Amino acid sequence: MSLYCGTVCRRKSFWCYRLLSTYVNKTRYLFELKEDDEACRKARQAGVFYLFHDLAPLLQTSGRQYLVPRLSRAELERLLGKFGQDSQRIEDSVLIGCSNEREAWFALDLGLSSASSIHKPEVEAELGGSFISLRRAVSQLSSMDSSLLFTARALLRWHDGHQFCSKSGQPTKKNVAGSKRVCPSNNIIYYPQMAPVVITLVTDGARCLLARQSSFPKGLYSALAGFCDIGESVEEAIRREVAEEVGLEVENLQYSTSQHWPFPNSSLMIACHATVKPGQTEIQVNLRELEAAAWFSLDEVAAALMRKGSFIEQQSDGLPLLLPPKLAVAHHMIKTWVETQTCSSLAAI
């Protein structure tokens, strides 16, 4: 694996991949597949396919984990043939990634188009798996699988909701990779979109502020989250959301990390830490947005983090505080806060 290529050599209209690092090579290859319909069509011939039904991925159980089966082109054609579907259906698939060896990965939903939806139980029986809600399965997937399935779900959902041009009302047409849709009557290009969401873990030095919505599973509390309004910076969105939801003013905003979150729609979660202004800790919950919000001590939060078992199982064990699943950025932020607090209290001893 070479680490660096100073010169970008062009062969035909794209790059010579030989001298580039594995990561750059992969990135450039995916770029080519998105830009060049013919190259993508060719990659689809030799590609592998992840199947969905109404946005639920096909999964197989393996102990406490889910495995994600993939089908070759030949297996997919055989499956479609068996259920009376034309192999043309494969053109609805979207590109979601590729291996280091340039094997292209696609996702195809067999249930979204009601006109040609394939009966779910029959496919499940044929493939020895089940189509399971991604939200339910998330805690039993590896982080690599969940990230790939998050992308696939978001992209399939976006295509399903953008079949028509919002200006002309005419049907839009997807490119082969599914990285955009075009209206043939006016050439408007539509690109898949994510809504920016700020998520903030507010602390007062010793405690952190967590909140819950009535739609959350019983006992579950998370960090404060909210969609950015149009025209706002991330900092403005954080200050507004915290003020709106719990009536507090925050300062010392610190960016932590980000995450693509596909539920219910595609959001780009921008995670930050913040502190309340000195002496301002009295929460005034906005009941139109939240069911409850409270300050939690380090011990309470650390104990909740330590609990073993899946998120789904924890819901029934009557424990006082439940936290978001490991793959959610909210979990990561809460864990980071506990680790930082623990380190600084140990250092103080």
Ligand X SMILES: NC(=O)C1=CN([C@@H]2O[C@H](COP(=O)(O)OP(=O)(O)OC[C@H]3O[C@@H](n4cnc5c(N)ncnc54)[C@H](OP(=O)(O)O)[C@@H]3O)[C@@H](O)[C@H]2O)C=CC1
Among the listed residues 69, 219, 226, 247, the single contact to Mg ion using CB under 5 A: 226
Pick one of ligand X, Mg ion, none as the site partner of residue 66 (Cβ within 5 to 8 A by kind): none
Both structure tokens of 189: 């290009």
Q: 258-296 in b/e burial notation, b at 16+ Cβ within 10 A?
A: ebebbeeebbebbbbbbbbeeeeeebeeeeeebeebbbb
Does 269 participate in binding ligand X (rule CB under 6 A)?
yes
Segment interacting with ligand X (CB under 6 A) among 18-26, 63-71, 154-162, 259-267 = 259-267
242 lines the binding site for ligand X (CB under 6 A): no
Judged by CB under 6 A, which of 17, 31, 83, 263 binds ligand X? 263
Q: Which does 47 bind (CB under 5 to 8 A by kind): ligand X, Mg ion, none?
A: none
Cα torsion angle, 42, 46, 48, 49, sign: positive
- Our finding on whether 289 is near ligand X (CB under 6 A) is yes
Closer to Mg ion at the Cβ: 196 or 226? 226
**Residue 195, binding choice from Mg ion, ligand X, none, Cβ under 5 to 8 Å by partner class:** ligand X
Please, what's the b/e burial string for 59-69 (b: 16 or more CB within 10 A of its CB; e: otherwise)? beeeeeebebb
* Angstrom distance (rounded) from CA 96 to CA 56: 16
d(CA 266, CA 161): 12
Minimal distance in Å, beta carbon 24 to ligand X? 29
Q: Which stretch binds ligand X (CB under 6 A): 15-23, 170-178, 180-188, 218-226?
A: 218-226
Q: Which stretch binds ligand X (CB under 6 A): 58-66, 178-186, 192-200, 306-314?
A: 192-200
Nearer to ligand X, 69 or 196 (CB): 196
| Preceding amide of 264 cis, omega within 30 | yes
Alpha helices in the chain (DSSP H): 22-35, 37-45, 73-82, 120-127, 134-137, 143-161, 234-246, 298-306, 311-314, 329-348
Region from 114-122, 202-210, 323-331, 339-347 binding ligand X, contact rule CB under 6 A: 323-331
Distance CA 244, CA 238 (A): 10
Which positions touch ligand X (CB under 6 A)?
A: 195, 197, 199, 222, 225-227, 259, 261, 263, 267, 269, 289, 324, 328-330
